[in-house]
């Protein structure tokens, strides 16, 4: 079986309960994790160690909190008590090194799904998104990865428009994969609003509802948006059900098209 799981954010206890509930066997089954493995939850180290231990059975895409962990490891972003144990672990270099190798976009044509943390911008078709994922990953993994990451994390906070410069286009792609929720009509990213769509005005649009979004032939699995919660239609499957905020941790079965949903309550 193959299960996609929403944002864990260090909620190791809930993660283990969910794996028990779906009877996960790393020798037989596969997991797809939408990113944000760590941060805020008290079991961030344990979560990362578990995923690393079973990495041959798990696909991971990078979320904004995973990126923040890498930045803290590099020393240009402040740490916090939930990720300090990772940075102080004797395995920190090994764990962070593996995390840096993860992609921003995972594609499985046979299953009919792709996975990102926040979304795929309306500007990109699947091939264009894959090209940007590969380019961003190559830069992150390069010898100059620290300098590159520090620079790209200085993306504009409010609004980023595509097509203005190569540097801004890279920031646009990076933000769309890791931070995006809403877009303006011109497909520029709105990066401040975190509320649910029902609480927002018509000026901004959830990225997956943009009327001119380029066609993606695969169903997009994503997380990142706890105020949206579970969201499913013919083209997307949103799985961030707010575990860290007292909600649930959710898994969807994706190998048989049933999209059976299994959840556990979070502490």
Domains along the sequence of the chain with CATH: 2-265 (3.60.21.10)
Closest CA to 136 of 38, 70, 223, 51: 70
Instruction: Give the number of other CB atoms < 10 A from CB of residue 215.
Output: 7
Q: State residue 202's pLDDT score.
A: 66
List alpha helices for the chain, DSSP H. 12-21, 44-53, 64-74, 84-88, 92-100, 126-141, 145-152, 166-178
Taking the C-alpha atoms of residue 71 and residue 79, their distance in angstroms, rounded to an integer, is: 9
Closest CA to 216 of 134, 133, 121, 131: 121
Q: Which position has the token pair 């764990």?
A: 95
Q: State residue 171's pLDDT score.
A: 96
pLDDT along the chain (267 residues), means of 10: 98 98 97 97 97 98 98 96 97 98 98 98 98 98 96 86 90 97 95 82 88 96 97 97 96 94 93
Specify whether the CB–CB gap between 266 and 41 falls below 8 A: no
Q: In what order do the strands lie in the sheet with 189-190?
A: 159-160, 189-190, 182-184, 204-206
Degrees, nearest 5: CA angle 167-175-12: 140
Q: State residue 2's pLDDT score.
A: 98
| The model's pTM | 0.96
């Amino acid at each position: 079986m193959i299960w996609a799981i929403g944002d864990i954010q260090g909620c190791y206890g809930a993660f283990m309960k969910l794996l028990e509930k779906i009877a996960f066997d790393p020798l037989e089954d596969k997991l797809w994790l939408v990113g944000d493995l760590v941060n805020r939850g008290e079991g961030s180290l344990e979560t990362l160690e578990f995923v690393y231990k079973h990495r041959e059975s798990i696909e991971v895409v990078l979320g904004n909190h995973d990126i923040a962990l890498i930045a803290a490891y590099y020393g240009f972003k402040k740490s916090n008590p939930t990720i300090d144990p990772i940075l102080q672990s004797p395995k920190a270099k090994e764990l962070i090194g593996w995390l840096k190798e993860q992609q921003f976009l995972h594609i499985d044509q046979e299953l009919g799904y792709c996975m990102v943390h926040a979304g795929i911008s309306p500007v990109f078709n699947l091939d264009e998104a894959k090209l940007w994922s590969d380019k961003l990953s190559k830069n992150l993994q390069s010898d100059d990865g620290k300098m590159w990451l520090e620079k790209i994390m200085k993306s504009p906070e409010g609004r980023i428009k595509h097509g203005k410069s190569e540097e801004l286009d890279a920031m646009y792609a990076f933000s769309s994969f890791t931070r995006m929720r809403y877009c303006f009509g011109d497909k520029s990213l709105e990066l401040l609003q975190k509320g649910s769509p029902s609480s927002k005005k018509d000026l901004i649009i959830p990225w997956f509802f943009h009327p001119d979004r380029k066609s993606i032939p695969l169903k997009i699995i994503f997380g990142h948006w706890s105020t949206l919660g579970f969201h499913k239609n013919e083209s997307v499957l949103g799985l961030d059900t707010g575990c860290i905020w007292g909600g649930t941790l959710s898994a969807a079965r994706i190998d048989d098209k049933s999209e059976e949903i299994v959840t556990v309550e979070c502490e």
